[in-house]
Each structure stands twice: as structure tokens, then as C-alpha cells.
Structure 1
């Protein structure tokens, strides 16, 4: 192959990949997340990476993010794949899953789902085109108890604490508060205002105010009231008093305030400041109808949300003639992981997952070395057999470079015993493969 024929090896922008010593840490994180979800009785499901575009479009304003799927060598008259796309989140496929398996599920159905998702957006810090999401959702028939609005953030708090993340805050709001407040102000299209206010992190208060005035047609009084509401924050249920002090009244607002107070009261035992009622949080997607969540790193306020979600009244009901409301929260695992790696805050693991390397002095000893490795594996150890006869020093150096902590020397003559070398201490001692335990 000539130089002109060589293809430069490079990962696509927005499609992260890790070296083995980083990937091993990510896998540990996934185990921690999985264990945390299961502690609260959530079961695992997995849906296909591909959904019909009709399913993917059920969520609202997402069409620009969807990667469509087609075969490179498709027949000219074969349009069977023309309406397929890669899922851009896990909530919409989950809603379809529940509707499809409705008669086989026990409700309330509590599931977690950890999968890759794809979004066709410009790659930048914290934004990827392919990434892993870790979702928990509860769907029930007719009504999801408000209890879950508080339980889900508690689960996320436990999991993210177990991951030992740098300081972060879970911000909580309620769409009923926003919509009811805007209705009380006489705003004709509250949902348009919610979508606009959700841009505060991106364009700031002045940018949102200008959009509300020029695009949404709000009066100066209405814009001022909206911005005053967006500026309210509190660490307990007393935040409700700050909202009611604005003097705006509506039935929907009162309902939302009661729900917000319930959530804040229910989480009051968590460390102060870890959960904050933040009235600027809107979550711009149309299907959210009640409690909404958005988690942020404390030291990187301009970085994207690290967890998010909320209550949706009948997303699954789009596919079945039953009322199936739900509530969910998602951890953006790749976004968190990539940030800590970039900041040098991630302690990487070894290149290898092996506990022991069994040496191979010569080809004639391969059968004996293989037998020793198998005996150790049957006892639960991860064991690598060196791949070819080499000088012992080279084999030990190989183990050291890969981070394999122990090197095993089988007795390749009758007058010798098994020995194991601890590469951390340099100590080499006799060992029995039937009883030896990694210290």
C-alpha cells in the first residue's frame, strides 16, 4: 500500500472512544449506576438502537437531531428502511416499549435503561453525537403517585454520590408552576414562553427578555414578571412563599406549587444545597408536564446538564388507548465522564483486567502453563497466559507495563514448586494454585 492509499486513523468528531485504562473505569461506573438503580427495585430493559421515525417524532421538536438510517447498497425501488432512525434518547423508545408490552407488564412499571444514543448536533465540549445515557423511569396506568417525583432524585443523588463526583446540584422546578404563572399574567402561549425561558443558560437574561418581548409579544410588565420568577431559587419548600409574593394567581400555579413543596420537603434530609428549587429550569421539550430536573456541576456552571428529566403525562399513551403517565430522570454518563477526564480528575485503571500473568518459558511447557492458568481461573481469578516463549524478564516487564499485579511461575521441573511474584513489592514466594488468594 502506498502512502497515498493510507487512511488517516481518527475517530469521528463527537464519537468518543477511550483507551483500555479509561474504559475500565467507565465500566466500573456503569456497574455502580446499575447497582444503584437496582437497589430501589428498578429492572433493566433494552430497546433497539433503531426506531421508526413516527416513534421518534412523537417527542416534539427533535427532528433536526435524528440520524436517519438507510442501506448504502439499497435497491432503487426498496424504501423499507426509508423511515427508520437511530434513537436520540431512551424515553421515547421506552414509551413505545410499554405500549407494545402493556399486557405483559406489572404496573407501576419501574425500569432502568443504560444504552448509547445518537444526536445529530454540532460536537463541542459536553455535547456528543454518540453517548451513553442511564435512565430510570416509572410509568403507571392513569396516575403516577407524587411519591416518585421525590424518589427519583433521591436515587440519582445516591448513585452520583457513589460515583464520588465533584460538587454538583440537582435543580428542581415544576412546569405547572411556570405555565400557571404565565397564565396568571395573561400570556396567551405559555408553552412558547417556557421554551424561550429554557434558553437562559445559553443566551442569558437579556437575550431571553428580548425574545419574550419581540418574538413572543409580551409586554414589559409580563417580561419583568417572567424574569423575576426565573431568578427565584431556594433550598427548601419556603421557596413557595417567594413565588406567591409576586402576586400572580391561577389554579394551575397553586397545583404546581403544592407539588414543588412536596418534593422539596421529601428531600430535605439530603445535604443542604444538593437539591435546589430553581425557577429558571424549564426543560424546553414539549412533553414535560410537571416536575422537571436538571443537574449541574457546581464548579463548571457553564457546562451542560449532567442529569435531567421530568414528569410526562401521557407519552406512552400516544401508542395505545390508555392513559399512561410517567416520570423519569437520566444521567448523562458520557458527558460527566469526559469532563472529569479532561480536567484530570479521573484516576484511570490498569491497562489489563488480569490478576495474574502465567509465564511461558518454552513451547514444550505450554500445556502445563495452560493447566495452571485454568486452575486459577476456575477459582475466580482473571488470568492471562503469556502468548509466546520469551525471556522471563521480558514476560515480567510485559506484566508490569499492563498493570498486572502478580506473575505466576509454574514448576516446570519436579524439584520446584509454584511461585508467585508480587510486582508491587518485588517479593516472590511459593504458592499453591488451589488455595492462593490475591492479597
Structure 2
């Protein structure tokens, strides 16, 4: 019985060339993470709901609960489990469970899907891939790691065709110390309101702050702080000029200045101090990051994170950490779906081995085995049709070479140029650029390409 296929919004499913592009991006991220000394881990998809909740204003309503379909009305045990909405909370649990087996400071990377029960929209999905790096220590985490993570991200993005971008950095201690210096008691609530600036604008934030009990002067000062941006350490004097004093404010300014100095030495032009950045999750305690594409800042952050000092604690020991997460699905939603990033072919195959007739198929399979043994992705033609049709089969899939076995010696044809030369299956190699598919970056500015409407 036929059934109608009903699309579900908020999930990415790619065509083969797009999937290969995604894999190239993921492999690049993984390679850079490992170059910077991070070890891979994998955590379970589910966590206890009570561990997931309470991490921010919207965390509770975003969690997907997990329950067996066959559960009876009195069987509510599974409801206590939920799908994780990020990698940081499960990583903190992982550290607590494995602290005796880990060597600190522990540097981990994790590339996995996460799930959020929010309304799907541009750049936001129900299921999405994140690529995280974190550094966590026991007792105390040195501040220099907060600048180091920026260099990891800058290295990743220098190898991907993402265009110009900026990492916006703040330190929540600056905001918290500033608010305390103003006499504001509800620091967390104020942070959450100011974090909505990009969504509701200054007028909206002003109204919410006044409704929350802030005086007009306090509100104006909060907005003035949030407007400060600087590509160097000039933000320090701009904050000082507002006339607010507090020890926590001094600490935050010094830490952020150190982060900016490191970034400007090793990745100049990439980082900007932006004092409106706060991040919505409550576990952040220090430096926070958000990364915007210069050509489309309204798309939102494609890479974010920050420092957390108390998320991983068992009451006796505390494991402070700092992490940053690349929103792979969000980034690819822009690059692939909207701008047409794709791969040079729809298959990993570099060589198609032709089949003269079915009696000769065993010899074609021997050629393929020899090439594969040397790491060359190879496919044997599925049918012993005319060579023209076999070449057409390869061309439609972007396979660059067709191999012709022969009694008097083999030959290989580059079907793009038409060149056909003798070849030895034991020694022949394709050009390095043809061995694997590569990214094809469209010229969006001149192509007039319209966004793809697939989700």
C-alpha cells in the first residue's frame, strides 16, 4: 500500500554532492581540532531531564523528552530522559563520571548531533550537528585557554570557504560587575534581557529593563555598555568613561584585554570585543564568544561558546572549563542551501573500470582491487554496454577517469580532456586533486542564484 511522503521541517537531508561537501567540512574541522591537540569523545544522546533543565531562560521548553510509545499510563520512567540540546552539558557529566581516568587539563573535541524543540526557521533546526572543542581542568583553569580557543576557530575557518567573519568576544564578568556597580540586584535577569538586543532592539530592551525595576539611569548605562565595540583593547577606556566601578568589572576588563591581545597577535582582524554579547545559557561565567558572517550578520552566530566554572561539580571537586562550538548545520544551511556550495562530484569514485563484456568482468574487478589496495576509490561499470555509454555513466557522476583493461596492456582515459594513455594498475595514480572530491564554491555575487527551498 502506497503512503504519502510528508516532509518534516527542521531537519537537513542532502543530495549526494551536498553530503560530500558536508563531509569535507566535517573532515576539515576534525583535522584542525586534532592539530591543536584535542582528543575525540562521543557521548550518549540522552541525559536526565533534571540535568538538562535550568541552564537558561529557554532551555526547559527546548528539550525533547523521550518516552517509549508502548509505555502505559503509569509508566512515566522514561519521561525523565531528554535529548541533549548542546554538547557542553553532557560533556560536563562525562567528566564527572570519568574524572579518575582523564588527564587534566583535558582537551576534547566532539562532533555529534543535538536536538532542540524550537520552531524551525532560517538557520535553526530541530536536529543539527555541532563541532565542539573544550578544555577542562580540575580545581582551576588558567585564563590563557580562553584566548587559545579563538585561534582554533580561526584556523578552522581559514581552511573553509566561509568568507569574511568576525568572532565577537565579551566577558560576562564585565557585565555582571558593571550591573553590580550600578546597584542592580538581578544580574542574571539583566543579562538575559540585554542578550535580546539583536532580537528586539534597544527600545525593546529598554522597556524590559524598566519593567524589571531598573531606573532610567541604570537602563541608559546598561545600553551604553552594550554599545561598546573595539578591535583592540580600547574598550577598556570606553568602559571606564562610563564611571562605574566594581572589582568584578576590573577583573573582567583585564581578562578580555588579554584575550584580545592574543587574538590580534596570532589571528589579526578576526576578533572584536563586543560588550553586548552575553549568551543565553546561565552556566557561562567568564569569556563568551559569538561568530558572525560579515556578509550576513543577521543570519546569527555560526560559532559560539564561553567559559563555565561550576557546570561540572560533584560537590567536592569542581572542573572549570571553556569551550567553543561550531554550528555545522547552521553554517551549511547558509553555504549549501542558500549559496549553493557543493562538491566536484556526487561520488568518492575517481576511476570507473570499464567492462568489455560480462566474460571479462573478473579482470575488471582485478583492476579495481589493485587500485583500491593503493587507496584509489574505484568502481567497476555495472553493465557491459558500449564504451561510450560507460563513459557517459562516469561523466554524469563526475568520475574523472575511465580505465580500459586490455590483453596488450591497460589504458586510462581522462574523460574531461579526452587524453588516453597506457597505465599500470600497480603504479598509476591520479593527480592529487582528482583523488577525492573537492568543494565547489559558487560565485554568489554574480550568479544570481536563488536560495534552495529545501530544508
Detail structure 1 runs of 4+ shifted over 3 Å in the superposition.
Answer: 74-80, 270-273
TM-score by structure 1 length? 0.95
CA positional deviation for 1:79: 3.9
CA positional deviation for 1:8: 2.5
Alpha carbons 2:395, 2:415 under 8 Å: kept: yes
Alpha carbons 1:114, 1:135 under 8 Å: kept: yes
Counterparts in 2 of 1:320 and 1:404: CA distance versus 1, 3 Å: farther
Deviations 1:186-228 (A, max 9, x none): 01111100000000010011110110011x1111100000000
CA positional deviation for 1:58: 5.5
Whether 1:33 and 2:22 are equivalent positions in the alignment is no
Whether 1:334 and 2:329 are equivalent positions in the alignment is yes
Instruction: Write the distance in 2 (CA, Å) between the matches of 1:329 and 1:29.
Output: 17
2:317 pairs with 313, 319, 322, which one? 322
CA positional deviation for 1:160: 1.0
Alpha carbons 2:354, 2:387 under 8 Å: kept: yes
1:403 pairs with 356, 375, 398, which one? 398
Whether 1:148 and 2:140 are equivalent positions in the alignment is no
Counterparts in 2 of 1:398 and 1:9: CA distance versus 1, 3 Å: farther
CA positional deviation for 1:361: 2.8
**Which ranges of structure 2 fall in alignment gaps of 5 or more residues?**
432-455
Instruction: Write the distance in 2 (CA, Å) between the matches of 1:435 and 1:287.
Output: 57
1:438 pairs with 427, 430, 435, which one? 430
Match of 2:410 in 1: 418
Match of 1:253 in 2: 249
Helix, strand or coil at the partner of 1:268: helix
CA positional deviation for 1:273: 3.6
Instruction: Write the distance in 2 (CA, Å) between the matches of 1:354 and 1:78.
Output: 50
Match of 1:206 in 2: 203
Deviations 1:297-330 (A, max 9, x none): 111121110111111111011x452111111101
TM-score by structure 2 length? 0.91
Whether 1:93 and 2:82 are equivalent positions in the alignment is no
Helix, strand or coil at the partner of 1:142: coil
Alpha carbons 1:58, 1:92 under 8 Å: kept: no
Match of 1:268 in 2: 264
CA positional deviation for 1:345: 5.4
CA positional deviation for 1:164: 3.0
Instruction: Write the distance in 2 (CA, Å) between the matches of 1:271 and 1:44.
Output: 25
Helix, strand or coil at the partner of 2:47: strand
Alpha carbons 2:195, 2:278 under 8 Å: kept: yes
Instruction: Write the distance in 1 (CA, Å) between the matches of 2:374 and 2:343.
Output: 27
Whether 1:116 and 2:116 are equivalent positions in the alignment is no
1:292 pairs with 285, 288, 292, which one? 288
1:21 pairs with 17, 20, 24, which one? 17
**Which ranges of structure 1 fall in alignment gaps of 5 or more residues?**
none
Alpha carbons 2:263, 2:270 under 8 Å: kept: no
Whether 1:53 and 2:45 are equivalent positions in the alignment is no
CA positional deviation for 1:75: 4.8
Instruction: Write the distance in 1 (CA, Å) between the matches of 2:400 and 2:197.
Output: 51
Helix, strand or coil at the partner of 2:297: coil
Match of 1:139 in 2: 136
2:163 pairs with 166, 171, 182, which one? 166
CA RMSD of aligned residues (A): 1.5
CA positional deviation for 1:433: 0.6
Alpha carbons 2:113, 2:127 under 8 Å: kept: yes
Count of residues in Structure 1 that have an aligned counterpart in Structure 2: 430
Match of 1:367 in 2: 362
Alpha carbons 2:151, 2:267 under 8 Å: kept: no
Helix, strand or coil at the partner of 1:330: strand
Instruction: Write the distance in 2 (CA, Å) between the matches of 1:100 and 1:422.
Output: 55
Whether 1:239 and 2:231 are equivalent positions in the alignment is no
Alpha carbons 2:17, 2:342 under 8 Å: kept: no
Instruction: Write the distance in 1 (CA, Å) between the matches of 2:267 and 2:28.
Output: 21
Helix, strand or coil at the partner of 1:236: coil
Match of 1:427 in 2: 419
Helix, strand or coil at the partner of 2:287: strand
Helix, strand or coil at the partner of 1:106: coil
CA positional deviation for 1:83: 1.5
Counterparts in 2 of 1:20 and 1:73: CA distance versus 1, 3 Å: same
Deviations 1:19-45 (A, max 9, x none): 111111111111111111111111110
CA positional deviation for 1:389: 2.6
Alpha carbons 2:11, 2:125 under 8 Å: kept: yes
